[in-house]
Amino acid sequence: MFIPSSILRKLYTKGSLRKINNRVFFEFKNRLKVASLEKVLNINFNGQSLALGEISIKHKLEELLVEFNANKQATTLPLGGSIVFSIPMDLVSFEEQNKIQVTLQLAPFGEVSIDFSDVLRDQHDHISGIPRDGYNNLSESIIQRRQEFVREQCQTQAPVLFGYRGDTAPFEGNIENFIGTAQVPVGLAGPLLVKGAHADGEFYVPLATTEGTLVASYSRGMKLINGCGGVKVTVMDSAMQRAPVFVFNDAAEAKTFLEWLMAPEQQAMIKNHAENTDPFVKFKHIDPYTANKFVFVRFNFATGDAAGQNMVGQATYAACNWIISAYPKIENFYLESNMATDKKASQINTMHTRGKRVTAEVTLKKSVLQEVMHVDPEQIDYHARVASIGSFLAGVNNNGLHAANGIAALFIATGQDAANVAESSTGILYSEITPDGDLYLSLTLPSLIVATYGGGTGLPTQQECLKMMGCTGENSAMKFAEIVAGTALAGEISLASAISSLDWVSSHEQYGRNR
């Protein structure tokens, strides 16, 4: 199986060349696919070949090293697994920049020769780090050691932060170097009457926030929506992306590659390799873009009830491994080109769905709007048109008012990745006066990234908040997306009314000031 040398070099862990006592260590990490190390064929330091009998090889498991003999028995290297090579100091002559070549028999790739260079470092150059336990980094004893480390290093006691006494097992995979929990107040808004294909009925919405007036404001918007028959919500599309980039010698070769890549037989192979990584990830299509001598490719997947960034990363990586082996003229490759725009608002995700594309809409009766919010439909509609000019001049990603407020509060309460608010809060707000004099409002969230499975959604309090809305179990992510969009529209209505009626400042003065 062909692998470009530029990619092979990435197997070496840069900066791992270290002197410890009288031996030299360096590390390789399997960044390709599950492999089997069958034999070490050669190691060359600065032009000097080493006697293989003097080389020690160890598996790296967390911070533990388990020795094995690769030349006597093949050993499996899982994706992400590391091996550490160790050689005696007296076998090597060192230079300022050491040139090293390692040749391995590595199935299924065959004979693999990896060339790299690095500076030798002394292990003792490192500052004493945060205490860790390679076997169980969430045990009570190691947590207490880290808490004591904080007391000594930071000169603080932090009794509330350190006060968590619950089971730490659910935190596995969600946190490293755990020391305690941050407490965020959770308020209850609602009910919100939602009319969607997945969420149909009244829902009480938990909002985790430290911003006074936020829960009250969203509840006020929900009350108005309920009085007008509820919010209609539609999930228009669902997709999660990873966007690798392939580098070529020139633009002509990039064009030839793109024509090859888009052929039906290549698409079928991509689908097969990608979907074999996870039963819940389904390949949808790819969107290619070219610039200079680069081909950027946005892979689109369905990911079930998971947000799916990690799932699609693994699936895309498997597909790209096949692409690289099948097309030898690729000069270089990166799994992410920044075109998926993880944790960043972008125009491409406004035009092409990332996560869920959801639209929430409601027609607000003039009489109800006047009774609850003390404003006329024309006031809110005119303000929306004026504010759109301000949005255009500012260059913002949302012509609405504050979708991020409710989305962030819901995300924190339910264990979503809070950084996804950067994308998820992108919004397109539209208003019009109906022939009856009522106010029609519509909010589209084109890149709402939500999950009801995986990540932080399984943590105890977060799972309880999801259960309050009936958003657990299979096929519940669409339901949750509809509730989030309806909640965001309620917040838009409430703040627009407050601004139009001049109640905004007085409300914050009354409810939101924590002096």
Q: Which residues are catalytic?
A: 211, 417, 508
Q: Reply yes or no: is the peptide bond before residue 328 cis, omega within 30 of 0.
A: no
Output the DSSP codes for 427-474.
BEEEEEE-TTS-EEEEEEEEEE---SSSGGGGSHHHHHHHHHTT--ST
Task: With CA atoms as reference, report the closest residue to 324 among 260, 262, 246.
Answer: 246
Alpha-carbon distance of 453 to 471, in angstroms, equals 10
Are 428 and 446 contacting, i.e. CB atoms less than 8 angstroms apart?
yes
Where in 119-230 does DSSP place strands (E)? 121-122, 186-196, 200-208
CB–CB of 360/443 below 8 Å?
yes
AA letter at 259 = E
Burial-class residue 5 by CB neighbours within 10 Å (0-12, 13-18, 19+). exposed
Separate counts of helices (H) and strands (E) for the chain: 14, 21
C-beta of residue 303 within 8 angstroms of C-beta of residue 241: no
Helix (H, G, I), strand (E, B) or coil at 484: helix
State the residue for tokens 């914050």. 508
163: its two tokens: 């006060």
- Cα–Cα–Cα angle for 476, 477, 480, rounded to 5 degrees: 90
Around Cβ 136, how many Cβ atoms within 10 Å? 13
What is the helix (H) or strand (E) element at residue 153, kind and residue range? helix 140-154
